[in-house]
Structure 1
Amino acid sequence: MSIRHGLLALLEHGPRYGSQLRSEFESRTGATWPLNVGQVYTTLNRLERDGLVAQGGEDEGGHALYAITEAGHTELRSWFGRPVDRTSPPRDELAIKLAMAVGAPGVDIRDVIQSQRRHTVRAMQDYTRLKAQALAAIESGESPERDDVAWLLVLEQLIFQTEAEARWLDHCEARLIRIASAAKERARTAPPVQNAPARTRAPAGGL
C-alpha cells in the first residue's frame, strides 16, 4: 500500500501537518490500515527530500505545515494513471500457511482450512454490517460524504476479498478430497507387487 501517494493525495486539498494527515488518512480508509505519527513524518521527510512536498510555515497551534509541490502534483497524477502492478504480488500469509501445511507432520490441513473459513465468514459479516452503516451515513448526510464514500469503497473491496477467500478455501478443500480419493483408487487398482524369484547360487568350487 502506498502511504507516500496517499499523503500526497491528502495534501492536494491544502497544507497539512503530520497528525492531521494521519487522522484524515484513517478517516478516509476507516482505519483499515492504521498509521502512527512517526511513520507519517518519516514519509513526509522522504517526500520533501524528493522535492514532492515542502514545508510551508506553521498553523496557529505551531504545527509545521507541509504542502504539495508541482513535482508532487505530477507524481500524484502519474500514480492515479498507473495500474497497480501485479507482477510481484504481495505475500499472502494464508496461502503460505496452507502451502506449508501440506504434508506437515501432525497437521490436518482440512482443520486449518475449516478454522480459517470460520474466521473469514465472521470477517465478511462484520464488513457487511459496516457497509450498511456507511451507506446509512451517506444517505443521511451525517458526516462528510467524501470520507464516507471512500470508506464504503474500501469496505466493498474487503467484502469482495473475503468472499474470494471463502471460495478459494472451498476450492482447496475440494481439491484435497479429490487428490486423496484418486490416491486411494490408484492404491486399490494397482496390481500386487510380486517378489522376484530367489537366485540359485552355484555350489562352491563350481563344476
Structure 2
Amino acid sequence: MSSEETAELERRAAVHAALADPARLQVTDALADGDASPSELAAMLGMQSNLLAHHLHVLEEAGLVVRRRSDGDRRRTYLRLVPGALDSPARPSLWAASRVLFVCTANSARSHLAAALWNQASKIPAVSAGTHPAPVIDPGTIAAARRHRLPLVRQRPRQLAEVRHDDDMIVAVCDLAHEELGGLAALHWSVPDPVGAGGPENFDAAVTELRRRVGLLVPRLADAC
C-alpha cells in the first residue's frame, strides 16, 4: 500500500471515529441547519462548555468543523460544518480494468443481466460467460431485460474460455461459479438464481440486486485503457 493510500485510509478512519459518538452527532446535526457560536451551541444542546470544547476539538481535527471570527464584535467565533463533511467518506478506486467479465454457471440469466446493467452505467465495457453454458438464454431473462429496458448484447450463452481475456476483471455472480473459479474471480456477488426460483418477481429481484451492486462498484473501478 502506498503512502497516499495509507494517508487516505487514516483520514477516513478519523472521520468515522469523530462521528462515532452521539454527542458529536448532535453537534453536526445542529450545525447542519446553520452556524452557531460555542456558547449558542452549548445552550442549544444543553451541554457543558468543557465537554462541548472536547467534542469540537475532535470534529475540528477530523476536518468536519471550522471556526470563523465574527465580522461583528470580532471576538466571538462561529462554528460551521465544512461543505460535504457529512457525505460518506468515499472508498478509493479498487484497481484499473479494461473490461469486466461477469460469470455465472449457465450464462443464461444473472451474468447477462449484470453485463447489461454495467454497460448502462460505465464506460468500461462488460461481457458475460458461463462455466457450464446453457443452450439458450432463459426466456425469463429476456422478459426481465425488456421490463427494465436492458439491451442484451449477446443472445446466446458462451463458455468462459471462449470469452475471457487475460486482463479481464472477473466478477462471479453466483455461488457455484465462484466456487468453481477458485481464485480466478476478483469479486463474488452471491445473487440467488432467478431461473431456479422461476417467476418474474425473482428475475426482477435479481435485476434490483445486481443494479445495486453495479452502482457501488462503478465509481471504484478506474479505466485501464
Bigger strand fraction: 2
TM-score, length of structure 2 as denominator length: 0.28
TM-score after normalising by structure 1: 0.30
